[in-house]
Homo-oligomer: A and B are copies of this chain.
């Protein structure tokens, strides 16, 4: 996708909803649909968005003609698996304040990674209900946690925009996972010239 925010979501029988992942510009969204005839998640646009649609058949020819690209694609899937596991740890093993902090730091850093973002201020186009579905909290509790983060001087808020004031401290609250995330491509064949 190229611009805007999407998210995938799944509905539980009791009406609860979980948002397993946010899709920001530069991401490949909805790839999980590859393996199923019916998409396993709903995809929702949180803002106006510009996406590029890829047909399943394109994947097939990519695997047949571009093995190196296919490998990279597969490696990317592993990266996303680890990202999902991180989120799992966040929801399963950290308190509410940390989860909200995680949501904010993650979004900021991913916006930066794509290149469009430089400072600490960005628009978070999710309702608190949606933020709760990401973090496994209720909207009310998301609200309270954000207020705490503001009171701590870690972030500032003005209608939908979030300004991260102390990213280090926020990140420290957010995700205390130790990991050495060096991407390893040495097992891949050399890139073609050019």
Contact = CB atoms under 8 A, between A and B. Distances in A.
Contacts of A49: none
A74 B75 contact: no
A85 B179 contact: no
Contacts of A77: 74, 77-78, 81
A64 interface: yes
Contacts of A13: 176-178
A181 interface: yes
A91 B94 contact: no
A179 B40 contact: yes
A182 B12 CA distance: 18
A34 interface: yes
Interface stretch (A54-62, A110-118, A123-131, A151-159): A54-62
Contacts of A183: 35-37
Interface in A62-77: 63-64, 67-68, 70-71, 73-77
Interface string A1-19: 0000000101111101110
Contact of A176 (B12, B33, B38, B81): B12
Given A84-B81, A182-B37, A16 B93 contact: yes
A26 interface: no
